Each structure stands twice: as C-alpha cells, then as structure tokens.
C-alpha cells in the first residue's frame, strides 16, 4: 500500500457533521503516522476504513479517469 497515491476527499468530508469530520481527520493523521512508524497493520486498517467509505481518493485513478474522459487530454 502506497499512501502517497491517496489524498483526503474534502468534498466527502464536508457532507458529514463536525464530530465525524474530526474523527475522519484523526483517522487520516493516525494512518499517516502509523505508516511512517512502520506499523503496517494499523495503517492498512485505517486506510481501508477511510477508502471504503469514500474519504480517500487515488490520484492515479483520478488522472486516468480525466484522460479517458478527455478532460485533460493532449488535444484539448
């Protein structure tokens, strides 16, 4: 798992109440710290929680979708 490919989906976070926003930010921060500390199981668990609930976006997939949808193609 390469967490550098993912970023926090701010638009999805705006949809939840303040308490949940704080919890999501805490999960994200804990995931980054756990990954940096080499605690792979903890980082993976937090990643899966955030990703499966739509709070993480894969930048690679986003770029591929843009290209396939011709939003950022060379011809534009």
Q: Is there a domain that residue 30 lies in?
A: yes
Task: Identify which has the larger pLDDT, 7 or 1.
Answer: 7
Q: Which of 35, 52, 34 is nearest to 1 (CA)?
A: 35
Count of domains for the chain: 1
Q: Is there a domain that residue 73 lies in?
A: no
Q: Is there a domain that residue 21 lies in?
A: yes
pLDDT reported for residue 66: 63
- 0.75 exceeded by pTM: yes
* Structure confidence by residue, pLDDT tens digits, 17-73: 999 999 999 999 999 999 999 999 999 999 999 999 999 999 876 666 666 676 555
What is the CB neighbour count within 10 angstroms for residue 63? Answer: 12
Q: Which of 76, 48, 17, 75 is nearest to 40 (CA)?
A: 48
Q: Is there a domain that residue 37 lies in?
A: yes
Q: Is there a domain that residue 74 lies in?
A: no
Q: Is there a domain that residue 75 lies in?
A: no
Segments forming the whole domain that contains residue 15 = 3-68
Task: Identify which has the larger pLDDT, 7 or 71.
Answer: 7
pLDDT reported for residue 56: 96
């Amino acid at each position: 798992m390469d967490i550098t490919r993912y970023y926090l989906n701010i638009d999805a976070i705006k949809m939840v109440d303040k308490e949940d926003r704080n919890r999501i930010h805490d999960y994200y921060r804990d995931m980054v710290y756990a990954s940096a500390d080499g605690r792979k199981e903890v980082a993976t668990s937090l990643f899966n929680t955030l990703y499966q609930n739509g709070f993480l976006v894969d930048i690679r997939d986003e770029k591929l979708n843009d290209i396939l949808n011709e939003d950022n193609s060379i011809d534009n």
